[in-house]
C-alpha cells in the first residue's frame, strides 16, 4: 500500500513531526508530566482525537502496523475514520488484532490482551489536566504540579467516601505516576487503570486542543489514588459476555427491547472475537 | 429482539457523506452557486471566514463557504486545516495602518479631525427593511464616484490623544511576537499573544464578552476613538534579498477604543486604549476585540479583575471557535464505556443509599 502523494508520509510535515517527537521524548523522560507542544490544526475536529493522531503520525514508520479503537471497538465510526485516515496518508498496514499491532491508538479503553514490549499505546485525551474539575486555572494547576500539591484531589476522594461510602469517579480515575505526578489516564473506565501499572508497552497521551503530550514509559509504577482503609477497587458489570462468555472483560450494556431487557457484551471487540474463534 | 450490531460503520459513513453532498447541492434544477459569486457577493462571510480561519485568501475562503454550505465556523475550520499544511517562510513586517488606503474612517470622539470623517461602504443608518426588489434581482443604481481622496496618511486618533499626553502611546516592546500556531498559549500571556488570540477568536464570543463589559461586568466606559478600514501593504524582507519588498495588500479593519481610567498611585488619570484589528471588513468583530482587549488590561492597570471579560485565562482559552466546536460536538461520539462505568457506580451508590445505615462500610 502507498500513501496519498498529495501529503507527506503520515500527513504532518517532517518539521512538525520532529517537534512532536521532541515533546514525546521530554514526556517519556518526566513520566506523567504534561509537556506543552505546538499542536496543529488537523483535518479532523478538535475533541475527535487530534492529539492522538498527531502523536501517531509522528511516531509511525512505514513498517508499522496500526490498530485504532474507540470504546474498545475497531468498528465504531470514529475508529473507522481515523484508521482510514492513516491508511490514506501513511499507507501503513492496519489490523484489528491487538497482538499484530505495533501502534495502537485508543479512545477510552485499554485492550484486554496484555500489551508487550515494543508496542506503543497512544491515548486520545480530551482534558489532560487531572485537576481541572477542582481548579480550572492552568496557571494554578501548574503550580500545584510543581509542588506535588495534590491535597485537593485527596479531599475530593475523601468527600466522596464520606458522602457515598465509596469514590464516585467511574472513569478518568486519577493516577500517580512514578510516585511524582498526578495524571489523568484519559476517560478509560477505572477497570482499566491497573493495566497501566508496570505495562511493558510505551504509553503516550496526546491532547490536541489542550496542546499537551504526556507519557508513561514501560515498566513504570502507576497507582490509582486511594486510601489504606478504602483501597482502589475496579468495577465491571457483574455478568458474562453474551457472545464469548467472558467474565473478566469490561462489558458494554446493550438495551435490547423496550421492556427493560438488557444484555452484556465485551467492549473489546478483538478480545471477544478471539475468544469466540478459540471456542469454535 | 436481536441485538443490532454497530458493524457496517464504514459503509454507513460513506453513505452519510454522500447524502450530505446531495444536501449541499440542493435541487439540481437550480443553478449551482459559483465560488466567484460567493467571493463577490457574500464578501462579509468571506471576510469572517478569513479572520477566524486566520488565513487571507478570498477564493479559498469562498470555496470553504461553498463546501460548508454556508456554515461559517465549519468553513473557517476547513481553511485552518488547509493553512496548517502551508510552509512558513518568515514574518511580515508589522502592518502600517497609518498609511492605509482608507475607504472608511470614522471617529465618535471628534466631530471633525484631520482627514475628516469618511463614511465609506456601511450598513449603518440603513433601515433594516427587507428589499423585495433584491429578490427580483434588480440591479442597484451605481453609487456616485467620490473625488479622488488625497493620498496622504491619515493621522490616527490614538496618536492625537497620545501627543497631548491624554493616552499612553502604544509602543513596540521590541520582543519577537509569539506565534500561537506554533507555540501553545501560556499564562500570563503577553499582549501580543492576547491580540493574536483575539484576532482569530470567534466573533460571537467576543461580541458577547464586549457587550458584557458595557453592561457593568468590568466597567469600561468606552468610546470609539476611531474605526478605519481599507487596504494596507504587506511587506516582507526575504533573507536572500536583505531588503524589504511589498508582497501585496490586504483589506483590514482597525478599531481604537478610548476608555476612561481613574488613575492610580503611580499613574495620573488618563485615557486607556483597547485595540482591535481583523482581516477584512469585520467591523463588529474589531470593535468587540477592542472592548475585550481593554478589559484584559485590568491586571496591568491595577484594576480589580472581577468580570469574565477581565479574566485572561477564561477569555483566551475559550475564544477559538474551531477548538470550541470540536470539543462540544465530540459529545456526539460514542461514550458507551464511560457511561457504562457511570451506570455501575450509580447503581452501587443507590444500593448503598437503600441499605440500612449500619450495613454501610
Per-residue pLDDT, B301: 86
- For residue A108, count other CB atoms closer than 10 A to its CB: 27
Active centre residues of A (catalytic): 32, 241, 244, 266, 272
Closest chain B CA to residue A6:
B85
CB-based contact (8 Å) between A129 and chain B? no
- Residue A141: which region, alpha, beta or left (left: phi > 0; alpha: psi -120 to 50)? alpha
Q: Are A176 and A183 in contact (CB under 8 A)?
A: yes
Per-residue pLDDT, A97: 96
Using an 8 Å CB-CB cutoff, list chain B residues near A139.
Answer: 187-188, 313
Q: Name the average pLDDT for chain A.
A: 94
Measured over the CA atoms of residue B153, residue B154, residue B156 and residue B162, the dihedral's sign is positive
Closest chain A CA to residue B350:
A164
Residue with cell 468587540: B288
Question: Would you state the cell numbers that stand for residue B97, as one nine-digit string?
Answer: 495602518
Closest chain B CA to residue A162:
B361
Contact between B327 and A84 using a beta-carbon 8 Å cutoff: no
Residue with cell 457587550: B211
Which residue(s) pair with A177 in the sheet?
A181, A222
pLDDT digits (tens, 9 = 90+) for B138-159: 677 788 877 766 667 888 888 8
CA distance A151 to A5: 52
Across B210-224, average pLDDT: 87
Which member of B12, B186, B336 has the closest CB to residue A267?
Answer: B336
CA distance B191 to B208: 21
Per-residue pLDDT, B105: 94
Q: Are B310 and B295 in contact (CB under 8 A)?
A: yes
Closest chain A CA to residue B189:
A139
Nearest to B244 by CA among B55, B87, B91: B91
Boundaries of every domain in chain A: 14-224, 236-280
**ipTM topping 0.85:** no
CA distance B62 to B43: 9
pLDDT band, residue B5 (cuts 50/70/90): very low
What's the gap in Å between the CA of A80 and the closest CA on chain B?
6
Per-residue pLDDT, B2: 36
DSSP assignment letter at B307? S
What's the gap in Å between the CA of B315 and the closest CA on chain A?
12
pLDDT digits (tens, 9 = 90+) for B76-133: 999 999 998 888 888 899 999 999 999 999 999 888 888 888 999 999 888 888 888 8
Using an 8 Å CB-CB cutoff, list chain A residues near B344.
Answer: 170, 235-237
What topology is assigned to A14-224 in CATH? Rossmann fold (3.40.50)
Longest dimension (CA), chain A: 59
SS3 letters across chain B: CCCCCCCCHHHHHHHHHHHHHHHHHCCCCCCCCCHHHHHHHCHHHHHHHHHHHCCCCHHHHHHHHHHCCCCHHHHHHHHHHHHCCCCCCCCCCCCCHHHCEEEEEECCCCCCCCCCCECCCCCCCCCCCCCHHHHCCCCCCCCCCCCCCCCCCCCCHHHHHHHCCCCCCCCCCCCCCCCCCCCCCCCCCCHHHHHHHHHHCCHHHHHHHHHHHHCCCCCCCEEEEEEEEEEEEEEECCCCCCCCEEEEEEEEEEEEEEECCCCCCCCCCCCEEEEEEEECCCHHHHHHHHHHHHHHCCCCCCCCCCCHHHCHHHHHHHCCHHHHHHHHHHHHCCCHHHHHHHHHHHHHHHHHHHCCHHHCC
Contact between B1 and A108 using a beta-carbon 8 Å cutoff: no
Contact between A172 and B340 using a beta-carbon 8 Å cutoff: no
Using an 8 Å CB-CB cutoff, list chain A residues near B336.
Answer: 71, 252, 267
| Pairing outcome for strands B101-106 and B222-236 | antiparallel
Contact between A80 and B10 using a beta-carbon 8 Å cutoff: yes
DSSP assignment letter at A29? H
Q: What percent of chain A is predicted at pLDDT more than 70?
A: 100
Per-residue pLDDT, B81: 93
Which member of B2, B317, B349 has the closest CB to residue A164?
Answer: B349
Q: Which helix (H) or strand (E) holds A87?
A: helix A77-89
Contact between B184 and A48 using a beta-carbon 8 Å cutoff: no
- For residue B8, count other CB atoms closer than 10 A to its CB: 11
Q: Are A204 and A213 in contact (CB under 8 A)?
A: yes
Closest chain B CA to residue A110:
B337
Using an 8 Å CB-CB cutoff, list chain B residues near A135.
Answer: none
Contact between A84 and B360 using a beta-carbon 8 Å cutoff: no
Q: What percent of chain B is predicted at pLDDT more than 90?
A: 57
Measured over the CA atoms of residue B271, residue B272, residue B276 and residue B277, the dihedral's sign is positive
Contact between A37 and B184 using a beta-carbon 8 Å cutoff: yes
Across A40-53, average pLDDT: 92
Using an 8 Å CB-CB cutoff, list chain A residues near B342.
Answer: 170-171
For residue A259, what are the contacts with CB-CB under 8 A and spacing of at least 6?
Answer: none
pLDDT digits (tens, 9 = 90+) for B272-301: 999 999 999 999 999 999 999 999 999 888
Contact between A13 and B360 using a beta-carbon 8 Å cutoff: no
Res. B6: pLDDT tops 60 = no
CA distance A189 to A193: 7
- Mapping DSSP to helix (H, G, I), strand (E, B) and coil, where does residue A271 land? helix
CB-based contact (8 Å) between A145 and chain B? no
DSSP A243-258: TT--SSS-EEEEE-ST
Res. B323: pLDDT tops 90 = yes
pTM of the model: 0.87
Q: Are A189 and A182 in contact (CB under 8 A)?
A: no
CA distance A169 to A224: 11
Res. A50: pLDDT tops 90 = yes
CB-based contact (8 Å) between A229 and chain B? no
Amino acid at each position: 500500500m502507498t500513501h496519498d502523494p498529495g501529503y507527506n508520509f503520515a500527513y504532518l510535515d517532517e518539521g512538525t513531526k520532529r517537534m512532536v517527537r521532541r515533546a514525546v521524548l521530554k514526556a517519556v523522560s518526566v513520566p506523567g508530566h504534561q509537556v506543552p507542544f505546538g499542536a496543529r490544526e488537523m483535518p479532523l475536529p478538535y475533541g475527535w482525537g487530534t492529539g492522538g493522531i498527531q502523536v501517531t503520525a509522528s511516531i509511525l514508520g512505514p513498517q508499522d502496523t496500526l490498530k485504532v479503537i474507540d470504546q474498545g471497538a475497531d468498528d465504531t465510526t470514529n475508529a473507522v475514520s481515523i484508521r482510514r485516515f492513516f491508511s490514506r496518508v501513511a499507507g501503513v498496514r492496519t489490523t484489528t488484532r491487538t497482538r499484530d499491532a505495533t501502534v495502537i491508538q485508543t479512545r477510552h479503553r485499554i485492550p484486554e490482551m496484555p500489551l508487550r514490549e515494543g508496542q506503543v499505546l497512544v491515548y486520545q485525551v480530551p482534558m489532560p489536566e487531572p485537576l481541572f474539575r477542582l481548579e480550572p486555572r492552568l496557571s494554578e494547576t501548574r503550580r500545584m504540579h510543581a509542588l506535588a500539591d495534590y491535597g485537593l484531589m485527596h479531599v475530593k476522594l475523601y468527600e466522596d467516601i464520606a458522602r457515598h461510602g465509596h469514590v464516585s469517579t467511574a472513569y478518568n480515575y486519577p493516577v500517580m505516576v512514578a510516585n511524582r505526578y498526578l495524571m489523568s489516564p484519559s476517560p478509560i473506565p477505572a477497570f482499566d487503570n491497573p493495566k497501566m501499572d508496570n505495562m511493558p508497552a510505551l504509553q503516550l497521551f496526546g491532547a490536541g486542543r489542550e496542546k499537551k503530550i504526556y507519557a508513561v514509559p514501560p515498566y513504570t509504577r502507576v497507582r490509582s489514588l486511594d486510601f489504606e482503609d478504602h483501597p482502589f477497587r475496579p468495577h465491571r458489570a457483574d455478568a458474562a459476555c453474551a457472545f464469548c462468555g467472558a467474565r473478566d472483560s469490561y462489558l458494554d450494556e446493550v438495551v435490547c427491547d423496550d421492556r427493560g431487557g438488557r444484555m452484556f457484551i465485551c467492549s473489546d471487540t478483538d478480545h471477544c472475537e478471539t475468544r469466540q474463534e478459540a471456542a469454535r | 429482539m436481536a441485538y443490532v450490531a454497530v458493524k457496517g460503520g464504514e459503509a454507513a459513513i460513506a453513505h452519510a457523506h454522500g447524502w450530505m453532498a446531495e444536501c449541499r447541492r440542493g435541487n439540481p434544477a437550480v443553478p449551482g452557486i459559483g465560488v466567484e459569486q460567493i467571493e463577490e457577493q457574500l464578501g462579509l462571510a468571506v471576510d469572517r471566514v478569513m479572520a477566524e480561519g486566520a488565513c487571507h485568501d478570498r477564493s479559498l475562503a469562498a470555496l470553504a463557504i461553498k463546501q460548508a454550505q454556508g456554515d461559517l465556523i465549519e468553513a473557517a475550520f476547513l481553511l485552518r486545516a488547509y493553512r496548517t499544511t502551508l510552509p512558513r517562510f518568515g514574518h511580515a513586517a508589522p502592518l502600517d495602518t497609518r498609511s492605509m488606503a482608507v475607504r472608511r474612517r470614522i471617529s465618535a470622539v471628534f466631530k471633525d479631525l484631520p482627514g475628516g470623517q469618511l463614511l465609506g461602504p456601511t450598513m449603518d443608518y440603513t433601515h433594516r427593511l427587507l428589499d423585495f426588489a433584491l429578490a427580483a434581482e434588480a440591479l442597484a443604481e451605481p453609487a456616485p464616484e467620490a473625488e479622488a481622496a488625497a493620498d496622504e496618511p491619515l493621522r490616527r486618533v490614538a496618536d492625537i490623544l497620545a501627543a497631548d499626553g491624554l493616552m499612553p502611546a502604544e509602543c513596540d516592546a521590541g520582543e519577537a511576537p509569539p506565534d500561537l500556531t506554533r507555540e501553545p498559549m501560556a499564562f500570563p500571556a503577553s499582549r501580543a499573544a492576547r491580540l493574536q488570540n483575539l484576532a482569530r477568536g470567534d466573533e460571537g464570543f467576543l461580541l458577547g464578552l464586549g457587550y458584557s463589559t458595557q453592561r457593568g461586568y468590568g466597567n469600561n466606559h468606552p468610546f470609539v476613538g476611531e474605526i478605519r478600514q481599507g487596504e494596507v501593504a504587506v511587506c516582507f524582507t526575504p533573507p536572500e534579498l536583505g531588503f524589504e519588498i511589498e508582497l501585496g495588500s490586504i483589506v483590514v479593519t482597525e478599531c481604537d477604543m478610548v476608555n476612561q481610567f481613574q488613575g492610580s498611585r503611580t499613574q495620573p488619570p488618563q485615557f486607556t486604549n483597547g485595540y482591535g484589528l481583523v482581516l477584512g471588513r469585520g467591523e463588529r468583530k474589531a470593535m468587540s476585540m477592542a472592548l475585550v482587549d481593554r478589559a484584559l488590561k485590568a491586571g496591568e492597570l491595577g484594576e480589580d479583575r472581577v468580570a469574565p471579560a477581565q479574566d485572561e485565562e477564561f477569555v483566551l482559552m475559550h475564544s477559538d471557535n474551531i477548538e470550541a466546536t470540536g470539543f462540544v460536538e465530540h459529545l456526539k461520539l460514542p461514550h458507551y464505556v464511560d457511561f457504562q462505568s457511570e451506570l455501575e457506580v450509580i447503581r452501587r451508590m443507590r444500593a448503598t443509599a437503600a441499605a440500612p445505615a449500619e450495613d454501610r462500610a
